Amino acid sequence: MAIPLSFTILLLLLLAPAIISSSPVVKDPELVVQDVHKSINDSRRNLGFLSCNTGNPIDDCWMCDPNWEKNRKRLADCAIGFGKQAIGGRDGRIYVVTDPGNDDPVNPRPGTLRHAVIQTIDGRGANVHIAGGPCITIQFVTNIIIHGLNIHDCKQGGNTIVRDSPSHAGFRTLSDGDGVSIFGGSHVWVDHCSLSNCRDGLIDAIHGSTAITISNNYMTHHNKVMLLGHSDSFTRDKDMQVTIAFNHFGEGLGQRMPRCRHGYFHVVNNDYSHWVMYAIGGSAAPTINSQGNRFLAPDVRFHKEVTKHENTPQSTWKNWNWRSQGDLFLNGAFFTPSGAGASSSYARASSLSARPSSIVDSITAAAGALKCRKGTLCR
């Protein structure tokens, strides 16, 4: 889809060849959990683990390095959760965007973001806004990292020819107007972005997407925030595995933080400071493991419940495996658990260890696009 741009200084992209897959290969969830923990420990040992003692393992992995600009590829080794294997452009060349104009969707000029945007988008050290149009679509590709962008005011667009690789351009139908749309994608990591006010969802993942981490984002001023799953009847989404960690769900949000259909979801150490209808919902027997989050209920007496079982009778949803462990509930907020609580089910919906909910404010303090300057720590 066309991506209108507005940015003030250079944006650096890490590129690697796109890997196209219409049917992503998904590991057994139990093995994913084991691999994630092993990979986190191994990568930290290899990196020397630059701990800032924030309790946020992603930020502590790279943010304490004043030479981050010279070590950009380190970021790709800091992912956690189900999207841990998203290496983006770590093994590719560095591409510097120098031209803020010529956003030609068919024949983009070298030096533009359109010409470069196939793999990792690393917005550190720049003020990058993707807004006013269809924004970002990740369709049938894998190994994608999106980091450090402001994504807002996204609208519908399409029904036109769009180039999606150096060698291919094709017709794209009308988009929904999501901030980030993940369609049949796998191994995707969206980190430290600020998202608001889009036509449809801020981040949606559908049509067999899996192996996704959504972390350290700051989301505001939007109704239906995050939809994970195409439809209740699209059973291929049963392979979906998503980690939602260290995000700040801020002012002006309505619902779907997230709304889950099929699959396994770990919602861990997020700060929920506002919702209108509910925070976490589901509709097709998803497994939801909520750990170490902070939920501040709205003042409206009838909307203090964190959970919602979308249009489903209790006789059905009472068997869904939803649990809250170590969450902090404020201003009357409450979580309605369900299911037998089988440990194996929750293990499949877990991808990292939760920190205490009492430190969620410090863990999420840097959520959203960062202000990074060369030679200093990112904050």
Annotated active-site positions, please?
256
Burial of 47 (0-12, 13-18, 19+ CB in 10 A): middle
Is 210 exposed, middle or buried, given 0-12, 13-18 or 19+ CB atoms closer than 10 A?
buried
Residue with tokens 């981490």: 213
Q: Which residue has the tokens 């994913």?
A: 32
* 14 contact partners, CB below 8 Å, separation of at least 6: 72, 73, 76, 88, 89, 90, 92, 94, 95, 119, 120, 122, 145
Q: In whole angstroms, give the CA distance from residue 62 to residue 43.
A: 11
95 three-class SS: strand
d(C-alpha 110, C-alpha 344), whole Å: 50
Structure tokens at 113: 């973001």
How far is residue 276's CA from residue 274's CA, in Å, rounded to a whole number? 7
Alpha-carbon span 290 to 272, nearest angstrom: 12
Cα–Cα–Cα angle for 343, 346, 349, rounded to 5 degrees: 155
The H-assigned helical ranges of the chain are: 29-47, 57-62, 113-116, 314-317, 343-348, 360-363
Q: Are strands 253-255 and 222-224 parallel, antiparallel or unpaired?
A: parallel
Q: What percent of the chain is helix, strand and coil (3-state, nearest 5)? A: 20, 30, 50
Using CA atoms, how far residue 138 sits from 90, 117, 190, 208, in Å, is 18, 11, 11, 12
Q: How far apart are CA 307 and CA 329, in angstroms?
A: 12
Angle at 344 between CA 343 and CA 348, to 5 degrees: 115
In eight-state DSSP terms, residue 62 is H
